[in-house]
Structure 1
Amino acid sequence: MNPLSPYLNVDPCYVVQDTNELILPTGANKTRGRFELAFFTIGGCCMPGASFGAMNRLRLGLKETQSMAWSKPRNVQILNMVTRQGSLWANTLGSLALLYSAFGVIIEKTQNSEEDLNTGAAGTVTGMWYKHTGDL
């Protein structure tokens, strides 16, 4: 018998878990579905998009304002450039991820199967839709 924990006054062998204990509805899978992964996909595209856009515009903003002295107007101008470009890239990549996730869920639900082909089809339809609207 293990000694009792001096802090909780509980035998530690009762606290140790050997397996993952997930609370799932009856009959549910232990893996995430495409709809649940959509939130991760969208957020995972927005954050790098914002970072890339901000860093790229910071580089260009510093180059464009080289002739100005370090002053408050220069700092404000660079900050405006960075936030505008960062949000533009975040919105663009977030929208693409939303389209990709939506098409993936729709394709999966209509076929009632989780195949790798669904991922390729969702990416293809997203690219066609994005290019069709005239962006890029």
Structure 2
Amino acid sequence: MDSNNHPGGQGGFSSVFGGSLGYPHTDLSGVPLTGISPLSPYLNVDPRYLTQDSEEFILPTGGNKTRGRFELAFFTIGGCCMTGAAFGAFNGLRVGLKETQNMVWTKPKNVQNVNMVTRQGVMWPNTLGSLALLYSALAVLVEKTRGAEDDLNIMAADTMTGMLFKS
């Protein structure tokens, strides 16, 4: 075996066997053992090109970086429906267990509890989803009508939502 390719031979990696600490390959002989080189010989890429000074999102020319009222409406409606479903299921379980506490644990008691969970689990998301849809639609309408985005739009949409829901 050639002494340049053997780890313990002349020009190998280890000095334990009497060799030097140099590189056996000539293509890596210019790579420093310590310090940071701006050019990575392993990736053949300058690491300065990998750092990003700007955001990673692609926006259309002239686009704003915040979500509009219409985009936030989907999050609001979906969040209210999911919250209503969770609250309704827990409330239905609470009401079902309260109404059937004097009954022995039988199949009719189980069915009554499941009925209460499903009834409440549907009623609450429908109510909260309707409110969120009404609020979001009115908020978009008020913002488009006024042409401004401020707290007055929120207060107007809240007030109209409450008035329409109670009427």
**TM-score, normalising length from structure 2?**
0.69
Report the residue type matching 2:54 in the other structure.
T
More off after superposition, 122-131 vs 54-63: 54-63
SS in 1 for 2:121: helix
Counterpart among 77, 91, 105 of residue 56 in structure 1: 91
Tell me, which stretches of 5 or more residues in structure 1 are unaligned? none
In the alignment, which residue of structure 2 is the partner of 1:67? Answer: 102
Counterpart among 101, 106, 129 of residue 141 in structure 2: 106
Q: CA deviation at 1:127?
A: 0.4
1:27-62 Cα distance to aligned partner (Å, 9 max, x none): 111100000000111112111111112111211101
In the alignment, which residue of structure 2 is the partner of 1:24? Answer: 59
**TM-score, normalising length from structure 1?**
0.83
Kindly tell me: are residues 10 and 46 of structure 1, through their superposed partners in 2, closer, same or farther at Cα, counting changes over 3 Å? farther
Q: Percent of aligned positions with the same letter in both sequences?
A: 65
More off after superposition, 61-70 vs 88-97: 61-70
Distance in 2 (alpha carbons) for counterparts of 1:72 and 1:4: 72
Higher relative contact order (CA 8 A, sep 6+): 1
Structure whose residues are more often helix by fraction: 1
Quote the RMSD (CA, aligned, Å). Answer: 2.1
- 4+ runs of 1 displaced by more than 4 Å? 2-5, 9-12
Report the residue type matching 2:117 in the other structure.
V
Tell me, which stretches of 5 or more residues in structure 2 are unaligned? 1-37
Aligned length: 129
Distance in 1 (alpha carbons) for counterparts of 2:135 and 2:83: 17
Counterpart among 70, 77, 80 of residue 35 in structure 1: 70
Which structure is larger by alpha-carbon Rg, 1 or 2? 2
Kindly tell me: are residues 30 and 72 of structure 1, through their superposed partners in 2, closer, same or farther at Cα, counting changes over 3 Å? same
Distance in 2 (alpha carbons) for counterparts of 1:72 and 1:12: 71
In the alignment, which residue of structure 2 is the partner of 1:124? Answer: 159
Report the residue type matching 1:61 in the other structure.
G
